Structure 1
Amino acid sequence: MAAPQNTIALVFDYDQTLSPRYMQDDVLFPEFGIDPAQFWKKCNTLVKEQQWDGELAYLKCILDYLQMDHVTNARLTQLGAGLSFFPGVAEMFDTLPTICLGHDHELAGVKIEFYIISSGLKALLDGSKLAPKVKAIFGCEFGEDEQGHISFPKRAISHTTKTQFLFRINKGMLEHNQDVNDHMPPDQRPIPFENIVYVGDGPTDVPCFTLMNKSGGQAIAVYNPDDASGRSFRKCFQLSNHANRVKHIAPADYRQGSHLWLLLAEMVRETADRILRRRTEERESSTVAAPTF
């Protein structure tokens, strides 16, 4: 028997997508007195001169800077409460489902789930105001030593491995002890790719944008409208106009009525209506009329 497939997943990158600031700049560096310029210089040196993977270089530098402070994951989670977001982000998680889904959708079991996939620190996101509003958060993680202090990267999520988590959402395998490579027929996957919308901000989201394009999902690239340099916009313009990675770009303004809000709302409505039509057709095709006299 096929899975209901009545869930719509809205999946977001974090840095520069939900927030105008990198999470480290927002709460980590100020807390521990870290000079951002020196931090990123050290990271770039590892990447360019020693060929480190970017995410591992960044995690190593965090450990190097924080080792004297005996930081725990719990403390990082506390700091996450101070994360800041683009306008309308916090409200969107509550208002979008209310406005986009009608009574008929609810009767058919149509629902929206939110996810975050980030190369940033999961512990920070776990403490943010967004955590209670999302189904799952995937991000880089630190293991802890016997004293409970962060000691070594436990999980690193790069821009290429982000796609693994889209497959986890697609298959409903949200726990790391579930093997996402297990075969699952398309009709058994709880959230087909055509029910997924992915929102990101630039080149690091290209693998996810590409997967969405090839698998029938939808994608939006967002830019910071307050970036006076125009660099944020140009990244999205290149992805849309030249690289053909996304069909839609929009300012990262999540307030009701904004360009981005209208795109998300229309994508959700169209998907919800398609699910409703399919459920209605399935019910009608399986109904056998009673004999008449």
Structure 2
Amino acid sequence: MPRTPTIALAYDFDGTLSPGSMQEHSFIPEIGEEKDAFWKRVNGEAARLGADNILIYMHEMVKAARREGKRFRLDDIRRHGADIGFFPGVADGWFERLRAHGAGQGVKVQHFIISSGLKEMIAASAIGPEFEAIFASEFKYDANDVPEWAASAVNYTNKTQFLFRINKGALDLSDHSEVNKYVPEDDRPVPFRNMIYIGDGDTDVPCMRTVKEQGGVSIAVHPAGDAVLAEKTAALKTDRRVQFTADADYCDGSPLDAYVKAAIDKMAAVERLRALEG
């Protein structure tokens, strides 16, 4: 039996599925700090040290919780993840609706996260179970579930590696041989022509460009009513980084919903044609 073609939707998280940064929903309020002050300190320290912003924000979360006497263990991080809010429609059927739409077109739709945010928070959020895999930054914990080191840090320069992992079905990060093994594109679990990437800004550009140039679809979203960010995503389309921009409205019948469904329809039609061609 021929395998059912798979279409992968890969998403950034902060600013794409959820407003702002995930730390701003409950962690930063809990430590009693303004979000601008927290990120100013992170960015300043990263600039001073010439360090990776992702590693610095992870360290600052640990330091800030300790300084303010707030418990910061794995279950606390998950608790903060459970408090994350989402753009309209995200937690109200978006993922299942697209899986059902794909099934009606004879394809399997899978969802993935590629984020600089914390994997533990994303997994514990209301939409955590929707994803085939979550590629994101995470801590290494001691025997008491206290963060003691960064286990992984995902930034804009290394995000694209996860597209290739999805492409080849090499979802186990400890397996380096599978992702580097040569496999003809048509024999890969998710050819790039069957990928849709949804992001919101500069840190997503490498992924947007990679997916678009390899035959897939890239989309930039912005909060509804935010003229500044709308102009920023419009520039991504002008610069040919993405094919489509839209409000971050994931409700049934929204422009974003219609465009993604149309992209799935087109990808499914191409797969049917290829099957007929033998």
Give TM-score, length-normalised by structure 1: 0.87
- Corresponding residue number in structure 1 for 2:96: 94
| Structure 1 residue 112 corresponds to structure 2 residue 112 | no
> Cα deviations across residues 77-116 of structure 1 (Å, max 9, x unaligned)?
23211211111112111112323542xx44xxx2100011
Asked if the contact 1:20/1:85 (under 8 Å) is kept, the reply is yes
- Corresponding residue number in structure 1 for 2:35: 36
- Corresponding residue number in structure 2 for 1:260: 256
Deviation at 1:70, TM superposition (A): 4.5
Structure 2: tracts of 5 or more residues without a match: none
Range 142-151 or range 189-198, more displaced = 142-151
* Cα separation, 2, equivalents of 1:5 and 1:99: 14
Aligned to 1:250, which of 235, 246, 249? 246
Deviation at 1:224, TM superposition (A): 0.9
Asked if the contact 1:170/1:191 (under 8 Å) is kept, the reply is yes
* Cα separation, 2, equivalents of 1:125 and 1:20: 13
2:100 maps to a residue whose letter is T
* Cα separation, 2, equivalents of 1:132 and 1:280: 35
> Cα deviations across residues 6-25 of structure 1 (Å, max 9, x unaligned)?
10001110111001231000
1:25 maps to a residue whose letter is E
- Corresponding residue number in structure 2 for 1:141: 138
| Structure 1 residue 27 corresponds to structure 2 residue 51 | no
Deviation at 1:69, TM superposition (A): 3.6
Decide whether aligned partners of structure 1 residues 9 and 208 sit closer, same or farther in structure 2, where only a CA change above 3 A counts: same
Asked if the contact 1:21/1:84 (under 8 Å) is kept, the reply is no
Decide whether aligned partners of structure 1 residues 89 and 266 sit closer, same or farther in structure 2, where only a CA change above 3 A counts: same
2:78 maps to a residue whose letter is T
* Cα separation, 2, equivalents of 1:187 and 1:274: 12
2:117 maps to a residue whose letter is G
Deviation at 1:281, TM superposition (A): 3.5
What is the total number of aligned residue pairs between the two structures? 272
Aligned to 1:150, which of 109, 130, 147? 147
Deviation at 1:231, TM superposition (A): 1.9
Structure 1: tracts of 5 or more residues without a match: 283-293
- Corresponding residue number in structure 1 for 2:83: 82
1:236 maps to a residue whose letter is T
- Corresponding residue number in structure 1 for 2:119: 122
Asked if the contact 1:5/1:189 (under 8 Å) is kept, the reply is no
Deviation at 1:234, TM superposition (A): 1.6
* Cα separation, 2, equivalents of 1:271 and 1:265: 10
